[in-house]
Amino acid sequence: MGRFSWRDLIPALGLLALIELSCAVAFASPQKAGAQGAEKWWPFGRSTFGFGAVFVDTNGSAEKYRTDYNYLPGFNLTEFSLDLLGEGSQTSWMDYLRVSGNGFGDSYPYEQAALSFGKRARYEFRGRYWKQNYFFSLPSYALGGRGEDSARRVTDLNLRLFPHPKVVLELGYFRNSNFGTAFNTDSRFQNLFQLRDPRRSLTQDFRVGVSFHQQSLRVSVFQNFRKFKDDPEQSDNRLVEPGTLPEMRSTSPLRLSVPSTSVLAQFSPSGRLSLEGKYTYSDGHVEAGRTEFVALSLSEGLSLEEIVHATSSSDRPEHRAEVTASLRLNNWLLFRNTFAVRSFGIDGRSLQSTTFQGTAPGAGSISAETSLDSFLDYRLVRNRPVLEFFPHPRLSFFGGYQYADRVVETGPDHRQVTVTHTGFSGATWRPFAGSRFSLQFEKGTDNEAFTRTEPRQVTRWRFSSKLPLFRGLSVHPHFVVENRTNRSGGQNFNSELRQGGIELTYARPDDRFTLSAGYTLFDLNSLADIRFFLSRQVSQDFSRYRTHLHFFHSRAVFPVGSRLTFNLGFGFLRDPAGSSYPLTRDYGEAGARLRVSSHWNWELQWRHVSYNETLLDWQDYVANRLALTARWSY
């Protein structure tokens, strides 16, 4: 997906055409304004247009570098933006226009653009386009990697109409497509196939809504229709373990439809009391099928074919509701309660027929049919009261309790009821302007855990702060201490997280020198006992995951003269031996920006990355990336 395609530039070119058109309007209209006296445009804010080239040099595993960064050499439209605002325009059909985008071209793993325009009190249009490229190197089986070179393209369009000061109509369209090449695996007869698995799923949402507000009451109703389709066709192109399976292919057409209705109501009868309620009902329906063809070579001239046809369908009705009430008792006390309900069920069935037929003369065929039911019933009730206390404008405390009751039924005899109690509290103190100290504590218990690692006891301390030392310079110490345990019914799971660090920033509006640096220690120690079969004997052991990460980053920007700005940066990441996945990564960066004129800037950025891991040294690499950009701004 990283390869250049002219089609990728079509949205950018379309937006550029819009920019040109808008600029023409912007710069032509002031003259018109004088003649007509009704319309006046001027560029508001800053309009930019940047383009450049990226050069990448990799020594070592280029695929791993792409997996980590996915930057490629090429020419790019790095950014563009335009803001136009009309003043006192009574007759024009549009009084503001904003266009922006970045990352178009060969090099960047993402590209995005946004367009919004409208006329105040009449309508508002917002459009967003976004593309993300995914690249993962070919499978490293020990770690569970899965090769992929695909992309996701998202388009979101939204039109709001204001026919009446108290009524808003909304129309929307959302499109999300996932396409490209991926690799999958299939296990059969003790052999493992690697399959080419093209991605081409498409999700489309159509939504319509209306909002109404009258004084302190606001009500919104939305109807959404989702359509999802996927037609994967898998075909083998490589055997991982040499075997006797010369051919395997499958198709799995899938169609989903999910209509949903949402209602939102907000009511604030006074400044002290506010109520908010949300309710959503959706009813998903699945229709899926699968066809497989496998050819198995048994001996010279003799082979066996396996043909599988499967169809499945399911319904999934779901209800969600949440009501929040906030009551300010006085200037010092605020009470808030949130009550939520969720329930959904799955009632589905899969029918599968399998036919084995021999290709030798006189060989017959055997067919079998199987049926598999799917059932799930999920119900959740949750209530969460919180009391907040403000003894001083710069000091606040809060404390609350959450009760949750969850029922999960996966069959007639499989019913699990989980009751969770969680207490939490915290304080925020702002001793002086710009400062903040925040401490939170949470402790929760479950009577039963759904999975072995869903904790039955959780204790968490979280601290964050911001402390200005002097003008422009501030430090942010922070830490998290978390213990999660589950010891019941022969299970033993324990996870301890210790994360702490300090961030330092220096930035002032009137100073072109900026500094950003930070160090974080991330220590996670997780231990879970497991039982497994070894030589047909049950063995008991434990699975331990340990990481002890140190990472540091820094970046300084400093001016040299009035036209030149340099930046330097350095960072490292260390997970030492003894960790589950020891690795070392260092980076350094340097750059310069030259202001050629008040409208033109030239920028050169260099970034060096060195990646080194202990377990799989064939994934190590050293990479250098150089980016040259010219930026025009108005």
Partner 1 sequence: MALLPRIDRVPQLIGLLCLVGTGRLLAQEVPDYVGIDTCEVCHDEEAQSLRRSPHWAIYRLKPEAEQSRVCESCHGPGSQHVDDPSNPLLNFRDGSTQKRTEACRSCHAQQGARHNVHLRAGLACDSCHTSGHGVSSNGEEEGSNFTDPLLIQAEAPLCASCHAEQKAEMQLPFRHRTLDGALLCSGCHDPHGQSLQRTSVSLIPDRTCLDCHTEKEGPFVFEHLASTVTGCMSCHAPHGSTNPRLLVRSDVRFLCLECHSETPTFHDLTRDRFQNCTLCHTAIHGSQVDGTLLR
Q: Does 382 bind partner 1 (CB under 8 A)?
A: yes
Q: Which is nearer to partner 1, 83 or 303 (CB)?
A: 83
- Please state, as a whole number, how many other Cβ atoms lie within 10 Å of the Cβ of residue 591: 19
Q: Which is nearer to partner 1, 358 or 461 (CB)?
A: 461
Q: Which is nearer to partner 1, 359 or 590 (CB)?
A: 590
At 134, is the secondary structure helix, strand, or coil? strand
d(CA 611, CA 143): 17
> What dihedral do alpha carbons 56, 61, 64, 66 form, nearest 10°?
20
C-alpha closest to that of 220 among 261, 258, 259: 261
Q: Which is nearer to partner 1, 358 or 546 (CB)?
A: 546
Q: Does 46 bind partner 1 (CB under 8 A)?
A: yes
Q: Which is nearer to partner 1, 49 or 136 (CB)?
A: 136
Q: Which is nearer to partner 1, 70 or 303 (CB)?
A: 70
Residue ranges in 207-226 that form contacts with partner 1 under rule CB under 8 A: 213, 218
Q: Does 8 bind partner 1 (CB under 8 A)?
A: no
Q: Which is nearer to partner 1, 356 or 429 (CB)?
A: 429
Helix (H) or strand (E) segment spanning residue 345: strand 333-358
- From 233, 377, 482, 589, residue interacting with partner 1 (rule: CB under 8 A): 482
Minimum Å gap between C-beta 147 and partner 1 is: 11
Residue ranges in 432-461 that form contacts with partner 1 under rule CB under 8 A: 433, 436, 438, 442, 444, 446, 450-455, 458, 460
3-state SS of the chain: helix, strand, coil percent to 5? 5, 75, 20
Q: Which is nearer to partner 1, 58 or 326 (CB)?
A: 326
Q: Does 310 bind partner 1 (CB under 8 A)?
A: yes
Stretch of 52-60, 136-144, 159-167, 356-364 contacting partner 1, by CB under 8 A: 136-144
Minimum Å gap between C-beta 88 and partner 1 is: 4
DSSP string, 507-556: EETTEEEEEEEEEEEEEEEEEEEEEEEETTEEEEEEEEEEEEEEEEEEEE
- From 66, 186, 236, 621, residue interacting with partner 1 (rule: CB under 8 A): 186
C-alpha closest to that of 205 among 227, 177, 179, 230: 227
Between 384 and 423, how does the x/- string for binding to partner 1 read (CB under 8 A)? x---x----xx-x-x---x-x-x-x-x-------x-x-x-
How buried is residue 193: exposed, middle or buried, by Cβ count under 10 Å (0-12/13-18/19+)?
buried
- From 337, 383, 520, 614, residue interacting with partner 1 (rule: CB under 8 A): 520
Stretch of 18-26, 27-35, 297-305, 370-378 contacting partner 1, by CB under 8 A: 370-378
Minimum Å gap between C-beta 393 and partner 1 is: 5
> How many residues make contact with partner 1 (CB under 8 A)?
162
Q: Does 45 bind partner 1 (CB under 8 A)?
A: yes
> Which residues, in sequence order, are bridge partners of residue 531?
540
Q: Which is nearer to partner 1, 2 or 86 (CB)?
A: 86
Identify whether the C-beta of residue 567 lies closer than 8 Å to the C-beta of residue 555: yes
At 190, is the secondary structure helix, strand, or coil? coil
Question: Which DSSP symbol is given to 578?
Answer: T
Q: Which is nearer to partner 1, 3 or 414 (CB)?
A: 414
User: How many H-runs (helices) and E-runs (strands) does the chain carry?
Assistant: 2, 30
Q: Does 584 bind partner 1 (CB under 8 A)?
A: no
- From 32, 249, 316, 550, residue interacting with partner 1 (rule: CB under 8 A): 316
Residue ranges in 10-39 that form contacts with partner 1 under rule CB under 8 A: none
Q: Which is nearer to partner 1, 187 or 367 (CB)?
A: 187
- From 22, 61, 260, 314, residue interacting with partner 1 (rule: CB under 8 A): 314
Q: Which is nearer to partner 1, 95 or 106 (CB)?
A: 95
Minimum Å gap between C-beta 435 and partner 1 is: 10
Minimum Å gap between C-beta 363 and partner 1 is: 27
Q: Does 233 bind partner 1 (CB under 8 A)?
A: no
Stretch of 6-14, 23-31, 356-364, 518-526 contacting partner 1, by CB under 8 A: 518-526
At 406, is the secondary structure helix, strand, or coil? strand
> Which residues, in sequence order, are bridge partners of residue 262?
222, 280
Q: Which is nearer to partner 1, 359 or 459 (CB)?
A: 459
Helix (H) or strand (E) segment spanning residue 25: helix 10-36
Residue ranges in 84-123 that form contacts with partner 1 under rule CB under 8 A: 85-88, 95-96, 98, 102-103, 109-110, 112, 116, 120-121
DSSP string, 62-131: HHHHHHHT----EEEEEEEEEEEEESS-SS-S-SEEEEEEEEEESS-SEEEEEEEEEETTTEEEEEEEEE
Q: Does 340 bind partner 1 (CB under 8 A)?
A: yes
Q: Does 149 bind partner 1 (CB under 8 A)?
A: no
Amino acid identity at 534: L
Q: Which is nearer to partner 1, 118 or 303 (CB)?
A: 118
Stretch of 7-15, 30-38, 53-61, 498-506 contacting partner 1, by CB under 8 A: 498-506
Maximum Cα–Cα distance for the chain, whole Å? 94
- From 209, 348, 399, 472, residue interacting with partner 1 (rule: CB under 8 A): 348
Distance of CA 24 to the CA centre of its chain: 38
Q: Which is nearer to partner 1, 30 or 45 (CB)?
A: 45
Minimum Å gap between C-beta 13 and partner 1 is: 21
Identify whether the C-beta of residue 380 lies closer than 8 Å to the C-beta of residue 340: yes
Residue ranges in 241-300 that form contacts with partner 1 under rule CB under 8 A: 250, 252, 254, 256, 258, 268, 271, 274, 276, 284, 286, 288, 290
Minimum Å gap between C-beta 322 and partner 1 is: 9
Identify whether the C-beta of residue 53 lies closer than 8 Å to the C-beta of residue 75: yes
Backbone angles phi, psi at 13, to 5 degrees: -65, -35
| Both structure tokens of 398 | 């809060």
Long-range contacts of 467-475 (CB under 8 A, 24+ apart): 467/435, 467/437, 468/432, 468/434, 468/435, 471/508, 472/506, 472/507, 472/508, 472/511, 473/504, 473/505, 473/506, 473/515, 474/434, 474/504, 474/505, 474/506, 475/502, 475/503, 475/504
Indicate if the alpha-carbon torsion angle 524, 525, 528, 530 is positive or negative. Answer: positive
d(CA 344, CA 355): 36
Between 539 and 578, how does the x/- string for binding to partner 1 read (CB under 8 A)? ----x-x-x-x-x-x-----------x-----x-x-x---
Q: Which is nearer to partner 1, 303 or 420 (CB)?
A: 420
Minimum Å gap between C-beta 302 and partner 1 is: 26
Q: Does 150 bind partner 1 (CB under 8 A)?
A: no
